[in-house]
Amino acid sequence: MAQAASKTCEICVSSPGHNYCEQCDQLFCDGCKISHLRTKMSKDHTFLSGPNINPEVKQYCKEHDETFIYYCMECDSPICKICVIKKHKLHDFAEIKETTDGIKAEVKKGMDMKMEHLQSKIADIDQGSNQYQADVNGVINAIREEGRHLKELIDKRVENLVKSVKEKETKNLQILRSIENENKTTLEKAKEQQKVSQGITDTTKLFQKLKQIRSQIDKREEIQIPILPSVKYVRQKVAESEIEKLFGELKLG
């Protein structure tokens, strides 16, 4: 039986008993506690530790100053041998150690189940978080990929428009230069004829030459200057909402 008043180790009876073994109902010093827990039969014992422990509060019946040795199932409380006779005679009771061990096992089972449940929840959350992050990365990649695709389509359209403009430019410039060259050739010939005519002093020969020049002028058809080409680009007014329609639908949970 623990002697709380002396606070002395009940094993070596020399050192302060700061540790109370709940199973053995004894006070232990630090060294004896370590030895006690190393023993196979008492390795699972539990201790109350500290300089101010008072084991009698839990282990002794205040009314009869007796050790609690039974546990009343109906009253849900520890009782001593005198309590059994006086107050709990017709009640169901069991040895307190057996009851304590049962409660301890029940509590341990409940705690194990609770911890297992919590660990499972934590694992589910961790797995869900990883999956969610993977989904987010997948969505971001899909959005960027669609953006790249749309940019490629826009770039392709831009290049096609520019190509069409340049092809039309080349064709029209060729036509204009061809007409320009013909007019230059005609102009040069006219200048040559005019220069020749100015050098003739004989009236008869000048008359014949002028008639020849006039005949050539009458025969040459005037080259019509074509309508000069024009080029314009009319911009489309594109609203932001129309750009959004080009993308897929984003669903956020």
196-222 pLDDT, tens digit per residue, is 777 767 777 767 767 777 776 665 656
pLDDT tens for 122-170 read: 999 999 999 999 999 999 999 999 999 999 999 999 999 999 999 999 9
The most distant pair of C-alpha atoms in the chain lies apart, rounded to whole Å, by 172
The pLDDT assigned to 217 comes to 66
76 pLDDT band, cuts 50/70/90, is: confident
3-state class of 70 per DSSP?
A: strand
pLDDT tens for 18-75 read: 888 877 778 888 999 998 898 887 888 888 876 656 555 456 777 887 888 888 888 8
| CA–CA gap between residue 136 and residue 39 (Å, rounded) | 56
- Would you call 116 exposed, middle or buried from its count of C-beta atoms within 10 A (0-12, 13-18, 19+)? exposed
* Residue entry with tokens 């971001």: 140
The pLDDT assigned to 219 comes to 58
CA dihedral 12, 14, 20, 22 (to 10 degrees): 30
Tell me the CATH class for 19-94.
Answer: alpha beta
Domain ranges in the chain?
19-94
Return the exposure string of 55-74: e unless at least 16 CB atoms fall within 10 Å of the residue's CB, then b.
bbeebbbeeeeebbbbbbee
3 pLDDT band, cuts 50/70/90, is: very low
- H helix intervals, 55-95: 56-59, 81-86
User: By the 8 A CB rule, do 27 and 8 touch?
Assistant: yes
The pLDDT assigned to 89 comes to 77
| CA–CA gap between residue 94 and residue 20 (Å, rounded) | 23
Crossing angle of the two packed helices 203-219 and 96-198, in degrees rounded to 10 = 150
The reply to whether the predicted model has a pTM over 0.85 is no
3-state class of 87 per DSSP?
A: coil
More reliable by pLDDT, 16 or 145: 145
